Chains A and B, each alone.
Chain A
Amino acid sequence: MTVAASASSSPSPENTYFRAEELGASLPPLMVAAERIAATVSQGIHGRRQVGQGETFWQFRRYQFGDSVHNIDWRQSGKSQRVYIRQSEWEAAQSVWLWCDRSASMDFASAPDVPSKAERAALLALALASLLTRGGEHVALSGSDKPPSSNRAALQEMSLALSDSGGSENESHTGVPPTESLPRDSRIVLFGDFLDDPDQLAQTLNRYAEQGVQGVVVRVIDPAEEALPYDGRVLFEDMELDGDVLLEQVNDARQAYSEQWQWHGARLADIIRQANWASVVHHTNHSPEEALMHLYLLLSDADVR
């Protein structure tokens, strides 16, 4: 598999971009199922069943004074005594916001043949973005000032921004998604490890819910975080804070850690369910297609859950 084989190569922006494109190419263009689409959104592919800007023919209407002469359909008019103008359907696009956790803890890979979580999250985000733009939807990176856009150049910019190691200033390093105000009825997809206090996530989701924004939480997990495959006397160093933990015998602590881990996962799942969001759990040693397919199904489904 090309993806797996190239997974360990260095994550240069172009590389990630092309891999994301490759990944997205296996799926048909994604049109986000939209219940309601904000009035603000620009021209797109979601027909509104009313006259408006669009490509698709909607109806002929009698010419009225004030209509532009350019809109007269001469062929139709020639068939009868009246003059008709041609009207198209109003087609609008959904905008989807993507967010990647780029805190230090994401920069972790337990084995040389497993990609780091940050790498994998960026790959998934870009692949999703690629799919969406090909579906005519508008995509933007949460936290950037760029408006949602559906052209390829925007995708390139996005890949550069995702690979930018520092991250922008207004983004926290604690792995908590920002709570900027988003247009109503837009969607957001959050990629991250969500290892911090689940309550922080709960607050964020509540804030989004107030705005009427719904979305998906993608938990990117390294296999070692789940299994704790170490033994002997080990000093675990925190990657973000100065909270080192010394385990005298990791074997003995594994059971307790496993319980702790499961409790954490359950708590996250609860929070997401309460916010009526959907969640995807992805392990970095699994193939990214799997997660992408899951995301695809979730986003294209009329009933987001």
Chain B
Amino acid sequence: MLSFGAFSLFTPWALAGFVLLPLAWWLIRLTPMRPRRIQFPAVRLLAMIDQTRSSAHTSPWWLILLRLVMVSLLVLAASQPVHNPESRMLANGPLLVVVDDGWAAAKDWPVRVQQAESLILQAQRQNRNVMVLTTAPALSPMVPQVLNPVESIAYVRALQPKPWSVDRRQILEALNHPDFAFKTAGQVVWLFDGLREKEGSSILDESLAALSRLGPVRLIEPAHGTEARALYPPRTGGETLHLPVRRVRGDGAEAVTLVAFDDGRRAIGNAIARFETGELEAEATFDLPLELRNRMASIRIENERTAGSVVLVDERWRRRPVGLVNDSTLADNQPLLSSAYYLERALDPVSDVFSGPIDELLDRDMAVLVMADPDELRSDDQKRLEAWVEDGGILLVFAGPRMSETSLAQSVSSGPLSGLLPVKLRLGDRAIGGAMSWRRPAGVQAFGSDSPFFGLNVADDIVVRRQVLAEPTLDIDDKTWARLADDTPLVTADVRGDGWTILFHVGASAEWSTLPLSGLFVEMLQRVVGLSRGIHGTAENVVLEPAFVLDGFGALRVPSAGVSPLTADSLGTAVASPRHPPGFYGSDDGVRAFNLTAALGPLEGAVDMPEFVERGFYREGQETALMPWLLLLAMMLFVADLVISVGVASTLSKLGMTSRRIAGVGVLAAALSGTDGFAMAADDADFIDAANNTRLAYVLSGDRDTDEISRLGLQGLSAVLAQRTAVELAPPAGVDLKTDELAFYPLIYWPINQNSVVPSSEAAEQANAFMANGGTILFDMQQSSAAAGLGQLRRFARVLDIPRLVPVPGDHVMTRSYYLMNDFPGRWTGGRVWVVPADERINDGVSPVIAGGHHWAGAWALDETSQPLFAVVPGGERQREFAFRFGVNLVMYVLTGNYKGDQVHLPTILDRLN
């Protein structure tokens, strides 16, 4: 057998037939083809020609070529070529197939199944029995069973990858199983997933050794670089989320795209992890707006469908808005000593802190409100605050001098927030230790198991010098979350409706205690904020029922009956198994994510193998014998030859002649003019089409996703325009600024992001001409933070002829060209939109540039079923409606110019505005 590449020849000596080719050539040249018959009027004149001069007849070159190819094909077919040859099984005995069906095998599962099938088919041809061993643990232990090939194919087809790791000890167990029937095997084939067990484990080598005692072992592994990658649960780093990605082999640099999805499986963001050459771990950073981040439900490696490439995200990684009540209008003279400063520093890593007067904060949607040493509230504020807490808010109050003073001065029940505090306070405060006291300042007790702070380490050096005291009541014990060493409550809390009120009996600054200086303070605040994430209950050993679990391909499914609940405290340490597949556990009011990779160490590639193992790679495609195809081709050529040379139909040859002539003309034209001739013809049709149909256009950015979003966005907008207005637009066109004619488009949408390259000078020239001649370009920086986007635009402005821009004035035509509107939201909102100040003399007052960062195309993009593709934040569908309205106004403005700015309509508009 002779092989080169994916091809092999089984009878290579047949190639000697090629020696005959020159002989064939000579023979072919001698036999002329049948002449063409042509009816001709002037035959009398032809007959008078002296024919002795005419040369010896020869067949045309293409006929010779055709026949030579035919002969070559026959010779080649005789050598029995095969594509993708399987290596043959040599030894006698049954076939043992070991299938790794853990999470890492899901990456190219169909290829594995195909490989197993082709092995079994081969065994079938050779009348061998088959045994299939799987390595991933299952609910019921595997019983090794000898199957006939037909059964085993059905068995292999029914196999599915599991969302947990393989356990190869099963092989050893199976080999030692009393039912194990083989003493020897003809061939052992291991469909390997490319991963070793944990570092330092020798199970793989042991099982290989055990298998090799049965027969020759062949190990088929994924091609290097195609092994599964693993995505690990995120670390929170302030405002960003960092996700480590690991791979098996460090050859070559590689970029892995991660996509975050919300619970409706809509993509809400992506990030890229870049592996440098030699690195096994890379990190991707998600920097998403808070609102989006809180909707994140899972993060996946793009285009990889394994359970290890998915990280489920639960409330732990979400940031909640925390309001810091700050009533004082006066600037603090010692800002670094104020309680607000301590609170902000402590809360910042886990949440987004907003500070302001209480009524403003209540206007917004806050998860937690923090008040340090609160003052008397206005009664309506107090009422709103109570309602807010009942509704599920968490009110966190720190004691302070003001609180103790007012409670001292007034009756116990009418202090600030009196109705809202978890406990009644005693008058005054208590100082522990100090110059006049024997007692030393008190430390903090370890937290009880019923406290949400349970498990936090209490440092010895925390001392409390002063605190407010609770009126002792019967239930005070249940309300207490933390105590001082002398059992007086340090933190008390009470449930109120769906919410909590929590009182720290010390101040938030370092004046009364050293608690705010410690790391414990941060952790305690995190736990408190964590409460707002819907994780009710203080006990960590609460039982979490499985809600959704991952299957082997990383898709969420309803759990099967064999899946058992997890306890909350075991979430961090549990290893994914048939009883506990990764997934979401918990009930509706709070699910916890259990990730496969949480307990998965670094990936260990199988680099070294014992020498007796024959190694191979998975291949796409099965063995194909090429001989029938070659013979078929030769046959077809033979028939063609017959038709041509016998001239079965003279029309055929006539056709042949004309087509050759056409081809000749084509080749000639192409040679003379390059491809311009054809391009011009195609362009003309395009131009006519473009001139006859008004359409929106977008700039092709070169990034497929961005272009697709632009296209879908403009398409969605066109649909809305057709529904609501008289504007009926043809499907949007993508334009390449450098090469395409722009004159046909009234409006060009130009998405700009970090990856956008500054246009080349030709492109800039075209764009400038477009703007100068009345076109409008909508620059969309597609970022919620306008500053970065404007930087991008500034870069562009260096080459583009962009005039001075101003924010859209309130009386701009765009605010009333169809709908009356004040701001122009897209996928985001709140940023500014910039235009060129209106000058009625130029372009009918239409601004050649409109710039903003609201990612309008994202808001306009609809899928085939007219469902929006992307979430808009924060406003939901109402915001999307306004985004569409902006689009309608924009197109109207571009198409009709200052028509709506005309004073004629002013009374009506004024009427409606009032």
Seen from chain A, the residues whose Cβ lies within 8 Å of a Cβ on chain B are 105-106, 108, 117, 193, 195-197, 222, 224-225, 230, 232-239, 243-249, 252-253, 256-257, 260-261, 264
What's the nearest-Cβ distance from chain B to residue A213, in Å?
Answer: 28
Cβ-defined contact, A238 with B54, below 8 A: no
Residues of A within 8 A of B40 (CB): 108, 224-225, 236-239
Please tell me which one of the listed residues B35, B53, B54, B55 contacts residue A235 in the complex, with CB atoms under 8 A apart.
Answer: B35
In the A-B complex, the 10 residue pairs with the smallest Cβ-Cβ separation, listed nearest first, are: A105-B41, A238-B43, A233-B35, A236-B40, A235-B35, A248-B57, A256-B49, A245-B46, A260-B45, A108-B41
**Interface size, B (range):** 20 to 34
A223 → B minimal CB distance (Å): 12
Interface check B23, CB cutoff 8 A: no
Q: A248-B51, A249-B54 are in contact. List 7 more A-B contacts (CB 8 A).
A: A195-B45, A230-B38, A236-B39, A247-B46, A249-B55, A252-B54, A260-B49
User: Cβ of B88: which chain A residues have Cβ within 8 Å of it?
Assistant: none
With a CB–CB cut-off of 8 A, which chain A residues contact B42?
195, 225, 261
Q: Could you say which of A237, A246, A256 contacts B50, with CB atoms under 8 Å apart?
A: A256
User: Shortest beta-carbon distance, A61 to chain B, in Å?
Assistant: 61
Listed by A's residue number, 29 A-B pairs whose Cβ atoms lie within 8 Å are A108-B39, A195-B44, A225-B40, A225-B41, A233-B32, A233-B33, A233-B36, A234-B35, A234-B36, A234-B37, A235-B36, A236-B38, A236-B43, A237-B38, A237-B39, A237-B40, A239-B39, A243-B47, A245-B43, A245-B47, A247-B51, A248-B51, A249-B57, A252-B53, A256-B53, A257-B45, A257-B46, A261-B45, A264-B45
Contacts of A237 in B (CB 8 A): 37-40, 43
What 1/0 mask marks residues of chain B from 48 to 70 whose CB sits below 8 Å from any chain A CB? 11110111110010000000000
A165 to B125, CA, bound (A): 74
Q: A105 CA to B39 CA in the complex, in Å?
A: 9
Q: CA–CA, A230 to B43, complex, Å?
A: 14
A191 to chain B, nearest CB (A): 15
Closest chain B residue, CB of each to CB of A111: B658
Q: Which residues of B sit under 8 angstroms from A235, Cβ to Cβ?
A: 35-38
| Number of A-B residue pairs at CB separation under 8 A | 93
CB closest residue in chain B, given A175: B41
Given A233-B33, A234-B38, A235-B37: A247 and B43 interface contact (C-beta under 8 Å): no
A233 to B51, CA, bound (A): 13
How far is it, in angstroms, between the C-alpha of A39 and the C-alpha of B35 when the chains are bound? 60
Complex CA gap A253/B47 in Å reads 11
Chain A residue at minimal CB-CB distance from B46: A245
Task: Choose one: B36, B37, B39, B54; the contact of A253 (CB below 8 Å).
Answer: B54
- State the Cβ distance, A267 to closest chain B Cβ, in Å: 11
Q: Which residues of B have CB within 8 Å of A244? A: 43
**Inter-chain contacts of B43 with A (CB < 8 A):** 236-239, 243-245
CA distance A248 to B44 in the complex (A): 17
Whole-angstrom CA separation of A222 from B50 in the bound complex: 23
Q: Nearest-CB distance from B237 to chain A (Å)?
A: 77
Interface of A is mostly: mixed
Residue of B nearest to A246 (CB): B35
Q: In the complex, A243 Cα to B32 Cα: how many Å?
A: 22
Alpha-carbon gap, A238 to B32, bound state (A): 23
**What's the nearest-Cβ distance from chain B to residue A104, in Å?**
9
Assembled-state Cα–Cα distance A225/B42 (Å):
6
Let me know if B56 and A248 touch, CB within 8 A.
yes
Taken together as a complex, chains A and B put the C-alpha atoms of A195 and B45 apart, in Å, by: 8
Question: How far is the CB of B650 from the nearest CB of chain A, in Å?
Answer: 11
Question: What is the chain A residue whose CB lies nearest that of B48?
Answer: A260
- In the docked arrangement, what's the CA distance between A71 and B49, Å? 72
Smallest distance from the beta carbon of A202 to chain B beta carbons, Å?
Answer: 16
Q: Which of chain B's residues have a CB closer than 8 A to the CB of A196?
A: 44
Complex CA–CA separation, A206 to B617 (angstroms): 96
Give every chain A residue within 8 A of B56 (Cβ-Cβ).
Answer: 248
Shortest beta-carbon distance, A224 to chain B, in Å? 8
**Measured between C-beta atoms, what is the minimum distance from B688 to chain A in Å?**
23
Closest A residue to B43 using CB positions: A238
Residues on A with beta carbons closer than 8 Å to the beta carbon of B39: 108, 236-237, 239
> Which residue on A lies nearest to B37, using beta carbons?
A235
Q: A222 to B44, alpha carbons, bound, how many Å?
A: 15
Question: In the bound complex, how far is the Cα of B56 from the Cα of A239, in angstroms?
Answer: 27
What chain A residues lie within 8 Å of B53 (beta carbons)? 252-253, 256
Contact, CB under 8 Å: A252 / B55: yes
In the assembled complex, the Cα of A196 lies from the Cα of B56 at a distance in Å of 30
The complex places the Cα of A261 from the Cα of B41 at a distance, in Å, of: 12
**Chain A contacts of B54 at CB under 8 A?**
247-249, 252-253
B63 to chain A, nearest CB (A): 10
Q: What separation, in Å, do the CA atoms of A261 and B37 have in the docked complex?
A: 21
Residue picked from A105, A225, A236, A247, most chain B C-beta under 10 Å: A236
Q: How far is the CB of B651 from chain A (nearest CB, A)?
A: 12
CB-based nearest A residue for B36: A234
Q: How many whole Å from A9's CB to the nearest CB in chain B?
A: 21
Which residues from B are CB-within-8-Å of A106?
41
The CB with the most chain A CB atoms within 10 A, among B32, B43, B46, B54, is that of B46
A253 contacts B46, C-beta separation under 8 Å: yes
Question: CB-CB contacts of B12-41 with A at 8 A, as 1s and 0s?
Answer: 000000000000000000001101111111
What residues of B have a CB within 8 angstroms of the CB of A232 in the complex? 35-36, 60
User: Closest CB of chain A to B578's CB: distance in Å?
Assistant: 77
Per the bound structure, the CA–CA distance linking A264 and B47 in Å amounts to 13
- Residues of chain A within 8 A of B50, CB atoms compared: 256
- Given that A225-B41, A244-B43 are known contacts, is A257 also in contact with B57, CB under 8 Å in the complex? no
Contact of A236 among B46, B48, B55, B60 (CB under 8 A): B46
What's the least CB distance linking A109 to chain B, in Å?
Answer: 10
Q: Tell whether A248 pairs with B41 under 8 Å between CB atoms, given A233-B33, A235-B35.
A: no
Q: How far is the CA of A105 from the CA of B45 in the complex (A)?
A: 13
By beta carbon, the residue of chain B nearest A244 is B43
Question: Shortest distance in angstroms between A130's beta carbon and chain B's nearest beta carbon?
Answer: 28
**Shortest Cβ distance from B34 into A: residue:** A233
Known contacts A233-B33, A256-B53; A222 and B41 CB within 8 A of each other: yes
Residues in B whose Cβ lies below 8 Å from that of A249: 54-55, 57
* CB closest chain-B residue, reference A256: B49
Residue among B37, B41, B46 with max Cβ neighbours from chain A (10 Å): B41
Q: Which of A193, A256, A264 has the most CB of B within 10 A?
A: A256
Of listed A106, A239, A260, residue having the most chain B CB within 10 A: A260
> Which residues of chain B are within 8 angstroms of A246 by Cβ–Cβ distance?
35
Q: Report the minimal beta-carbon distance from B301 to chain A, rounded to whole angstroms.
A: 62
Cβ-defined contact, B38 with A195, below 8 A: no
CA distance A206 to B605 in the complex (A): 108
Q: Mark B461-504, 1 if CB is under 8 A from A, else 0.
A: 00000000000000000000000000000000000000000000
A239 to B51, CA, bound (A): 21
Contact pick for B49, options A197, A230, A233, A257, CB 8 Å = A257
Which chain A positions have C-beta within 8 A of B48? 260
Closest chain B CB from A237 CB (angstroms): 5
Separation of A195 and B40 alpha carbons in the complex (Å): 11
Roughly how many angstroms separate A196 CA and B48 CA in the complex, as a whole number? 13
User: Which of chain A's residues has its CB closest to B653's CB?
Assistant: A232
Q: Which of chain A's residues has its CB closest to B58's CB?
A: A249
Query: In the assembled complex, which residues on chain B have CB atoms less than 8 Å from the CB atom of A257?
Result: 45-46, 49
A236 (CB) vs chain B CBs: closest residue: B40
Least distance between A221 CB and chain B CB atoms (Å): 9
Q: How far is the CA of A278 from the CA of B496 in the complex (A)?
A: 122
Q: Report A226 CB to chain B, min CB distance, Å.
A: 9
In the assembled complex, the CB of A42 is this many whole angstroms from the nearest CB of chain B, namely 39
Cα distance A175–B814 when bound, in Å? 83
* CB-contact partner of A233 in B44, B45, B57, under 8 A: B57
Query: Which of B37, B42, B43, B49 has most chain A Cβ within 10 Å?
Result: B42
A253 CB contacts on chain B under 8 angstroms:
46, 49, 51, 53-54
- Write the B248-267 contact mask toward A (1 if CB under 8 angstroms, else 0): 00000000000000000000
- How far, in whole Å, are A190 and B194 apart by their CA atoms in the complex? 94
Residues of B within 8 A of A239 (CB): 39-41, 43
Please, how many angstroms separate the alpha-carbon atoms of A235 and B653 in the complex?
14
Chain A residues, CB < 8 A from B32: 233
